[in-house]
Structure 1
Amino acid sequence: MKQIIITLLLLQSMICTVSAQNARFPTEGVIEFERNTNMYAVIGKHMRADNTFGQKFFEQFKKTNPQFKILKSTLYFSKDKTLFKPEEDQSVSNSYLSSGPDLNQINTTYTELNQLIQTSRKKVFEENFIVKDTVRKINWKITNETREIAGYQCRRANAIVLDSIYVVAFYTDQIPVSGGPESFNGLPGMILGVALPHDNISWFAKSVTDKSVEASVIMPPTKGKLTDNKGMVKIVNEALKDWGEDAKSYLKWLLL
């Protein structure tokens, strides 16, 4: 019996060793993400108690639109570069209530991880801007919580960005590229999930394809007025100077 147990243990050890040797840790590939937004919760936060006119529009919106809005995007990665590109929104809504930057994907983001430079195309109303600046430094706190996302074992990390946005991220060291969706990065592996629990929005990977990506695919966006983060803040503040608190919310999501 002892010999059988020893033999089984040796076989299990050999299988684990072979599996580890054959495991791939891709540094190039394509990740498909889905962004999930609780429309009723996000729009509800914009409504003021004394805004009877807006409340009527909101009630009508809830009758004609689903509670959750799913938007698709693609993250291309190759060693020290990533490109996050949102897909065109196929949902139909003619309500002004669903037009804000917190309810849509307005950023195409290219990141040079070694140089710590990020170039994003941001759509502000009907105008495009190219915002080039250093990568935001995020002070992540890694936890022991884990979960599986798109077939990869991921570890949880928490952070606060832009002074007030609580972020929960899940990254995998099985993809040794310090990237992620939108402008989220800076963890010891690829971020496959991001949740903003207080803001009712999340991004989670649905599939990861391990394949070579041509250099011509991962390129910084063009076609827009060039500026940096400070310039973007100035432009938006001037454009929305009469918006009051709504201007702060708009700017927050624009910079995210």
Structure 2
Amino acid sequence: MKKYLLIFALLFTFGINAQNISGQAFYESKTTVDLDAMDGGREMTEEMKKMISQMMKSALEKTYILTFNKEESIYKEQEKLDATPMNPGLKMMMSSYSPGAQYKNLKTNQIVEENEFFGKQFLVTDSIKTLDWQITKESKTIGQYIAFKATAIKKVDPSDYSMARPKKKDEKENAEVKSDSTQSQDPMDNIEIPEEVEVTAWFTPQIPVSNGPGEFTGLPGLILELNVYRTTLLCSKIVMNPKESEKIEAPTKGKKVTREEYVKIVKEKTDELRDNFKNSGGNGRRGGGF
């Protein structure tokens, strides 16, 4: 009960000037990868694991900036120069399923995001899906802010390959793979996307905006830390009421589609690529355009 009283007290104290609040929050992403599960039953050398770890680190460790006010926000990856070499196929796959700039309007309950999928730009529109957050009694300090823990279950977008995980195989299946190392296999047969995942958020009522990184909203304070499946987003810096910051506007580049239409496009293209892969004997021949 004392925890909830503290939350309400903080909301009252900092909510007086909330209408004029604005700021920028910088988030660092960390994603863990199980390399032993990625080899599909085949053994990787330590040198190969080290090389893949470096490539995955370059692809998955990023900085994002959330520019926000009371009602709107724009969420973007911070551009940086990266000299780390990466397999072109892996780089293409990682970028193909990653969202671009994301705009949220809490007043109209709308989210608009830019996505580039295999060289074609899409402008995806959707309503904001607020999770059924359960605020717990746990709290901790993140930087100079008091943060409270909340959890929820999130249904996973079937086109979100950042959530992909290796399928679990029994010993018999692994033995079959090892005994026939020359067998051509569709790599998509070895992964699956979970239907739902648990989300853990740490939010601070000291910044009274119901916002956070990505599509996440709905808590009585800015989300400072977010844990979704294997990925953690941690706020490393906050600039409140900056004199100069990016203008918050919805992105405009790309073909306008709904979320449902975009999921259908991704599925159809993925199925096409899988068919081409199988028909080419596993040589990975790329399919045609849209």
TM-score, length-scaled by structure 2: 0.65
**Paired position in structure 1 for 2:50:** 62
Query: Does structure 2 conserve the Cα–Cα contact (< 8 Å) formed by 1:76 and 1:213?
Result: no
Which whole-Å CA distance do the structure 1 matches of 2:114 and 2:208 have between them?
26
Answering whether residue 112 of structure 2 is matched by residue 110 of structure 1, we say: no
Which whole-Å CA distance do the structure 1 matches of 2:246 and 2:23 have between them?
14
Query: Does structure 1 conserve the Cα–Cα contact (< 8 Å) formed by 2:96 and 2:117?
Result: no
**Paired position in structure 2 for 1:120:** 113
**Paired position in structure 1 for 2:29:** 35
Query: Does structure 1 conserve the Cα–Cα contact (< 8 Å) formed by 2:111 and 2:125?
Result: yes
SS at match of 1:240: helix
Answering whether residue 267 of structure 2 is matched by residue 237 of structure 1, we say: yes
Which whole-Å CA distance do the structure 1 matches of 2:254 and 2:61 have between them?
27
Which whole-Å CA distance do the structure 2 matches of 1:104 and 1:87 have between them?
17
Answering whether residue 222 of structure 2 is matched by residue 228 of structure 1, we say: no
Aligned-residue offset at 1:148: 1.6
Size of the aligned set, in residue pairs, is 216
Letter in 2 for 1:170: W
Describe the superposition over 1:14-64 as per-residue Cα deviations: whole angstroms up to 9, x where unpaired. Answer: xxxxxx79x9867201111111122x42x55444226x7xx57x9525236
Q: Report the identity percentage.
A: 25
User: Any gaps of 5 or more consecutive residues in structure 1?
Assistant: 1-19, 245-256
Query: Does structure 2 conserve the Cα–Cα contact (< 8 Å) formed by 1:131 and 1:228?
Result: yes
**Paired position in structure 1 for 2:240:** 210
Aligned-residue offset at 1:193: 0.7
Instruction: Tell me: CA distance 1:125–1:149, structure 2 relative to 1, closer, same or farther (3 Å).
Output: farther
Which whole-Å CA distance do the structure 2 matches of 1:46 and 1:242 have between them?
23
Aligned-residue offset at 1:100: 4.0
SS at match of 2:232: strand
Aligned-residue offset at 1:241: 1.3
User: Any gaps of 5 or more consecutive residues in structure 2?
Assistant: 1-12, 156-194, 275-290
Instruction: Tell me: CA distance 1:132–1:207, structure 2 relative to 1, closer, same or farther (3 Å).
Output: same
Which whole-Å CA distance do the structure 2 matches of 1:46 and 1:123 have between them?
26
Letter in 2 for 1:185: T
Letter in 2 for 1:168: T
Which whole-Å CA distance do the structure 2 matches of 1:201 and 1:44 have between them?
18
Instruction: Tell me: CA distance 1:100–1:184, structure 2 relative to 1, closer, same or farther (3 Å).
Output: farther
Aligned-residue offset at 1:147: 1.6
SS at match of 2:62: strand
Query: Does structure 1 conserve the Cα–Cα contact (< 8 Å) formed by 2:99 and 2:113?
Result: no
Letter in 2 for 1:120: E
Instruction: Tell me: CA distance 1:123–1:24, structure 2 relative to 1, closer, same or farther (3 Å).
Output: same
**Paired position in structure 2 for 1:130:** 123
Describe the superposition over 1:45-102 as per-residue Cα deviations: whole angstroms up to 9, x where unpaired. Answer: 444226x7xx57x952523644745211100001100110112354423224455449
Answering whether residue 102 of structure 2 is matched by residue 72 of structure 1, we say: no
RMSD: 3.0
Query: Does structure 2 conserve the Cα–Cα contact (< 8 Å) formed by 1:77 and 1:213?
Result: no
Instruction: Tell me: CA distance 1:216–1:88, structure 2 relative to 1, closer, same or farther (3 Å).
Output: closer
TM-score, length-scaled by structure 1: 0.73
**Paired position in structure 1 for 2:219:** 187
